[in-house]
Amino acid sequence: METVKPTNKTPIPGPEEQEPQTSMPAPASPWKEAFRELKKNKLAIVGMFIISFFILIAIFAPFLTSYAPSTLNAGPRLTSPNLNNWFGTDDLGRDIFTRIVYGARISLLVGFFAVTGALIFGSMLGIIAGYYGRWVDMLISRFFDIMLAFPSILLAIAIVAILGPSLQNALIAIAIINIPIFGRLVRSKVISIREEEYILAAKAQGMKSGRILIHHVLPNSTAPIIVQATLGFGTAILEAAALGFLGLGAQPPTPEWGAMLSDARQYIQSAPWTVLFPGISIMLVVLGFNMIGDGLRDALDPKMKN
Amino acid sequence: MSKPVLEVNGLQTHFFTDRGEIPAVDDVSFHIQQGEVLGVVGESGCGKSVTSLSIMGLVPDPPGKIVGGEILYRSEGKETNEENLVELSKKRMRQIRGNRISMIFQEPMTSLDPLFKIGFQITEGLRNHSNISKKEAHRKAVEMLTLVGIPRPEEVVNEYPHQLSGGMRQRVMIAIAMSSDPEVLIADEPTTALDVTIQAQILELMQNLNKEKGTAILLITHDLGVVAEVCQRVVVMYAGKVVEQGSVRTILKNPKHPYTQGLIKSLPKLSERDTRLYSIPGNVPKPGSIKNGCRFAARCPAVFDRCLVENPELLQLEDEHLCRCFLYDNKEGGGKNGETALTGSQRP
């Protein structure tokens, strides 16, 4: 490789900058370039810090606290934050800091599995609908429309009501209500990419449509899917918290943030820390994912490139 | 003369839409000899592109469908093997497409997949048609890039499409099309999206490939200048039909069909800089809107009664010079008069 490196010391632009064809930096894959773009976005960096922080405390939970999340009477009931119980204790004397730390595991796992499930099934349905079109598309799209016609939390409540309240069922419900969101996105992307000239060119090279679908259509649709998945993470965590709050998600004594909020809501005036810390945690995680998602959207959008 | 490598006979490609059946290509016939450059000229919407897609078997279905005619492809081998592309199985068609008959498109900016390196895209078709090793593929990619005159091919194989200019990308497209050493190359307006200097380079490249490799080229264009530059024979299409066909020399020097005459007349000339550029009055009729009579009748300067009721046949004027116009139909009245009328003032 003979790319001429501009010498940093001289302010005069090197001759290579006048010729557009040789001024290109070392060939970068579109993904690397997107990452480079993402690193320029300060909000996205903040988001990544927040999420990394929560991932780390989730992994190292047992090392961060000497209590177990469900130990009763780790301190006096409803004590305000102090040196022994950093975030105070709840009505059963459990250490709130410990519960928050362990709750991070639950929230992140719920987000991950709900998004993965929705992504896999949604993408499959979306690809089938977008690629085969006609009545298959009609059928799948109407199915999506019907699901989207319900307020999502109501649908989740209905699904959990059928399956029975538990964290696992809440997760399934969240995955299901997110299927049409991914499905519609993938479908519309597949439809637009199917008409691209490079797809026609690939066909003109004698490639099978299955190969074209996997090697050309799908990779070109990934950018918006990644963005949606990141944003979906936040939504899924929020929905899990909402179901937990309604008593339809994680069951006591699981330290789920939404459920913690619900348990503590009668003490909101006498012991505000019981609601404050789970609330802040939910907010921070969702905010973090949204910031990364927005950053990714900008980084992956070809129109934003100069 | 040997038999043509590609022969299109009475091709009819129709589109079935909500507004009814639209004959985009209606009874088109032509042939390409081995190693020949054939131009297909016509306005937008006259069916040039649909013709080329029909040959490749890539007409979007639905709504398009080849409803009649045949496309004969003769492969060279120990014995000549004749196949009708319209009737081939999907599998056999895939073997021919991109391998024996290749195609390049109008828009080089969007014809390459933005996510893959140039080298990968050049050899993707090859690896698809034959099993070759990675190393061999890389060598072949560099060889093809050198063939199409890309500077620093060793580096370009590892670059992405967005790092190349339009002209470079079109060269890459040609490299992809030529990588399997096809017998026929279909070029659908390959230079329309490029600026003039690059156009000339691309045309020169295609001419060189034609001479060196003996690849027959079907060049689809709306630019008579391009035709004059590179083609040996030319087919003029109007509203889905062939209206005139012949050698480039005949067509450009002595056009017979009023449409061809109009086309040539509307070319800008250096000597007449101040005069207003000639244009054929009216617009291309909507495909399928004309049921009876000659499709050009509404815009024809030499139109007479018969043109409005009867559909003219393709007449043979000389060897190899065909024209679809009643002016040259001597059997019945009107022909002679029409011709003299035309040779008077309206002749360019």
Task: For helices A134-149 and A167-194, give the axis angle rounded to 10 degrees.
Answer: 140
CA triple A132-A219-B90, angle to 5 deg: 45
Q: Kindly tell me if the per-residue pLDDT of A223 is higher than 80.
A: yes
Average pLDDT of chain B is 82
Q: Kindly tell me if the per-residue pLDDT of B159 is higher than 90.
A: no
Residue of A nearest to B155 (CA): A1
Q: How many CB atoms lie under 10 A from the CB of residue A24?
A: 17
Question: Is residue B215 in a domain?
Answer: no
Lowest mean pLDDT among B39-53, B188-202, B210-224, B326-340: B326-340
CA distance B244 to chain A (A): 29
Contact A205 B124 (CB under 8 A): yes
Unique residue bearing structure tokens 């490789």: A1
Percentage of chain B exceeding pLDDT 70: 91
Report the domain count for chain B.
1
Residue of A nearest to B106 (CA): A197
Percentage of chain A exceeding pLDDT 90: 26
B chain contacts of residue A216, beta-carbon cutoff 8 Å: 113
Contact residues, chain A to chain B, C-beta under 8 Å = 1-2, 20-21, 24, 27-30, 196-198, 200-208, 211, 215-216, 219-220, 302
Which of A163, A220, A223 is CA-nearest to residue A192? A220
Contact B97 A206 (CB under 8 A): yes
pLDDT at B336: 44
Contact A206 B160 (CB under 8 A): no
Most confident of A53-57, A239-243, B30-34, B100-104: A53-57
Question: Is residue B210 in a domain?
Answer: no
Mean pLDDT of the B303-318 span: 82
Average pLDDT of chain A is 83
Dihedral of alpha carbons B254, B260, B261, B264, sign: negative
Complex ipTM more than 0.85, yes or no:
no
Q: Give the model confidence (pLDDT) of B246-264 as tens digits.
A: 888 888 888 888 888 888 8
Contact B111 A1 (CB under 8 A): no
Q: Give the model confidence (pLDDT) of A181-203 as tens digits.
A: 999 999 999 888 888 888 888 88
Query: Which residue segment(s) compose the domain that B314 sits in?
Result: 257-346
How deeply is A251 buried, as exposed, middle or buried, from its count of CB atoms within 10 A (0-12, 13-18, 19+)?
A: middle
B chain contacts of residue A202, beta-carbon cutoff 8 Å: 113, 124
Q: Give the model confidence (pLDDT) of A15-53 as tens digits.
A: 443 344 444 445 567 777 778 888 888 888 999 999 999
pLDDT at A176: 93
pTM exceeding the 0.90 threshold for the entire prediction = no
Question: Is residue B276 in a domain?
Answer: yes
Question: Is residue A173 in a domain?
Answer: yes
> pLDDT band for position B272 (50/70/90)?
low
B290 or B267, which is more confident: B267
Percentage of chain B exceeding pLDDT 90: 2
> pLDDT band for position A9 (50/70/90)?
very low
pLDDT at A291: 92
pLDDT at A20: 43
Contact A24 B129 (CB under 8 A): no
Unique residue bearing structure tokens 């490249």: B205
Report the domain count for chain A.
1
Question: Is residue A253 in a domain?
Answer: yes
Q: Give the model confidence (pLDDT) of A157-176 as tens digits.
A: 999 989 988 888 999 999 99
Token pair in block for residue A285: 């995680």
Mean pLDDT of the B65-75 span: 85
B61 or A230, which is more confident: A230
Mutation target for B interface from A205, A301, A303, A304: give the one with most B CBs within 10 A: A205
Contact B124 A207 (CB under 8 A): yes
Mutation target for A interface from B59, B111, B129, B173: give the one with most A CBs within 10 A: B111
Unique residue bearing structure tokens 């070392």: A26
Question: Is residue A61 in a domain?
Answer: yes
Where residue A299 sits, what CATH number does that domain have?
Answer: 1.10.3720.10
Q: Kindly tell me if the per-residue pLDDT of A2 is higher than 50.
A: no
pLDDT at A13: 42
Question: Is residue B201 in a domain?
Answer: no
The strand order across the sheet containing B37-41 reads B101-104, B184-188, B216-221, B37-41, B233-238, B241-247, B321-323, B315-318
Unique residue bearing structure tokens 């699981």: A254
Residue of A nearest to B105 (CA): A201
Contact A27 B160 (CB under 8 A): yes
Lowest mean pLDDT among A151-155, A207-211, A298-302, B83-87: A298-302
Question: Is residue A93 in a domain?
Answer: no
Lowest mean pLDDT among A56-60, A67-71, B135-139, B221-225: A67-71
> pLDDT band for position A122 (50/70/90)?
very high
Of A29, A198, A206, the CB nearest to B98: A206
How deeply is A8 buried, as exposed, middle or buried, from its count of CB atoms within 10 A (0-12, 13-18, 19+)?
A: exposed
pLDDT at A3: 47
A chain contacts of residue B107, beta-carbon cutoff 8 Å: 197
CA distance B306 to chain A (A): 43
> pLDDT band for position A302 (50/70/90)?
low
How far apart, in whole angstroms, are the C-alpha atoms of residue B144 and residue B285?
A: 43
Of A197, A206, A219, the CB nearest to B95: A206
Contact B165 A21 (CB under 8 A): yes
A chain contacts of residue B149, beta-carbon cutoff 8 Å: none
> pLDDT band for position B79 (50/70/90)?
low
pLDDT at A121: 93
Instruction: Please say whether the beta carbons of A230 and A288 come within 8 A.
Output: no
Query: Which residue segment(s) compose the domain that A37 sits in?
Result: 33-68+110-304
Mutation target for B interface from A194, A198, A203: give the one with most B CBs within 10 A: A198
